[in-house]
């Protein structure tokens, strides 16, 4: 089962109006969605998103609530679904709890884990797109290197990419443990690692296969248009790249539109679109001791400025 991270803190930050319209962009196993529904009044509504067909099946079987609807797809397409429901500029809150869920990691056949043997899949949306094996067995060496270096901050990205390309024609990559062992053997034994040698590479490949950072950027580009004045964005990230994107986005929205230097700055032009609410929030020690996944979580909250519609 998935243990939701920063559950109470995120729901308290998100809900400002019990009869509002809210979006949970990352339904997972519905931990946050259930808590949101528990805090909403009879006229409140919640629209959930998940890319993973298993999350959709779970929602259909486990949540029966007239105030709730789940849409199968990426949160990057949130704007059109919100618009289709007549809610553009009307949302009271958007929650994102990024990354993978525990069921995704724990099921060996999903291919996310370097601890359990399974097909090298790693797609959150198993109904579409290229698997990790398909990509690794065809991608340019330079692209593999880029993904490992940028998304995994892997020091040995160049070497790992070269060895993958050297091997794959004789013996294509198909299984998670095969790839994990292969990477472990490439990294020099003299290098002291705190985590398994394949941790960074698996994370990088997963981020690439699921276009995780692109989806986040696409969603953020629509946030100001989707929120009602006073509406909130709450994002829980588990990775420094994601958190940097969210932090820089909120900062840019706080500064307001960029004005060319030779144009006099008017009051309107200086208006921010969003303001941060409080500082970044981390899980308390008690939560970290119960759920190790929460240790790397960081939550940021922003609110659409009143009069900005
Ligand atoms: C960390 S889990 C969310 C757990 C959830 N908050 C809970 O309490 O059960 C992340 C979920 O978001 C989904 N997901 C990740 N990126 C997504 C995207 N771009 N669009 C839709 N769903 C996404 C994953 O499939 C996964 O089920």
Q: Which of 111, 137, 133, 139 is nearest to 124 (CA)?
A: 111
Q: Which of 149, 155, 114, 121 is nearest to 135 (CA)?
A: 121
CATH 1.10.150.170 occupies which residues in the chain? 126-209
pLDDT at 256: 76
CATH of domain 7-103+212-304: 3.40.50.150
**Integer Cα distance of 296 and 168 in angstroms:** 34
In the numeric block, the tokens 């443990």 are attached to 177
Q: Is 107 annotated for ligand binding?
A: no
CATH 3.40.50.150 occupies which residues in the chain? 7-103+212-304
Q: Which of 31, 50, 241 has the most ligand 1 atoms within 8 A of CB, as the residue to mutate?
A: 50
pLDDT at 137: 98
Contact 95, 63 (CB under 8 A): no
Contact 14, 278 (CB under 8 A): no
| CATH superfamily assigned to domain 126-209 | Putative methyltransferase TM0872, insert domain (1.10.150.170)
| Per-10-residue mean pLDDT, the chain, length 309 | 92 98 98 98 98 97 97 98 98 97 94 96 97 98 98 97 97 98 93 88 98 98 97 97 97 80 58 92 94 94 83
pLDDT at 309: 60
Q: Is the CB of 49 under 6 A from ligand 1?
A: yes
pLDDT at 119: 98
pLDDT at 260: 66
Q: Is the CB of 32 under 6 A from ligand 1?
A: yes
**Integer Cα distance of 185 and 197 in angstroms:** 9
User: Which atom of ligand 1 is closest in space to residue 95's alpha carbon?
Assistant: 6
């Amino acid at each position: 089962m998935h243990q939701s991270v920063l559950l109470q803190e995120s729901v308290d930050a998100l809900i400002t109006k019990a009869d509002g319209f809210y979006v949970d962009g990352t339904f997972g196993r519905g931990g946050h969605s259930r808590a949101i529904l528990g805090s909403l009044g009879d006229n409140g509504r919640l629209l959930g998103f998940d890319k993973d067909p298993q999350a959709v099946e779970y929602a259909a079987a486990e949540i029966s609530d007239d105030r709730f609807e789940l849409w199968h797809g990426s949160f990057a397409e949130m704007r059109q679904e919100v618009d289709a429901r007549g809610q553009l500029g009307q949302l009271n809150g958007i929650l994102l709890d990024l990354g993978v869920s525990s069921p995704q990691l724990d099921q060996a056949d999903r291919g996310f884990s370097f601890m359990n043997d399974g097909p090298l899949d790693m797609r959150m949306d198993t109904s579409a797109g290229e698997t990790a094996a398909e990509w690794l067995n065809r991608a340019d060496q330079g692209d593999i290197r880029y993904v490992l270096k940028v998304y995994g901050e892997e020091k040995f990205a160049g070497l790992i990419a070269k060895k993958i390309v050297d091997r794959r024609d004789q013996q294509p990559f198909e299984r998670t443990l095969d790839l994990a062992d292969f990477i472990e053997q490439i990294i020099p034994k003299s290098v002291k690692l705190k985590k398994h040698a394949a941790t960074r590479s698996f994370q990088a490949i997963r981020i690439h296969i699921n276009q995780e950072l692109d989806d986040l950027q696409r969603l953020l580009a629509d946030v100001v248009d989707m929120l009602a004045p006073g509406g909130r964005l709450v994002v829980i990230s588990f990775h420094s790249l994601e958190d940097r994107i969210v932090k820089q986005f909120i900062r840019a929205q706080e500064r307001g539109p960029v004005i060319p230097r030779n144009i006099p700055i008017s009051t309107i032009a200086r208006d921010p679109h969003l303001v941060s609410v409080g500082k970044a929030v981390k899980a308390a020690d008690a939560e970290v001791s119960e759920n190790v996944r929460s240790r790397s979580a960081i939550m940021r909250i922003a609110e659409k400025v009143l009069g900005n519609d």
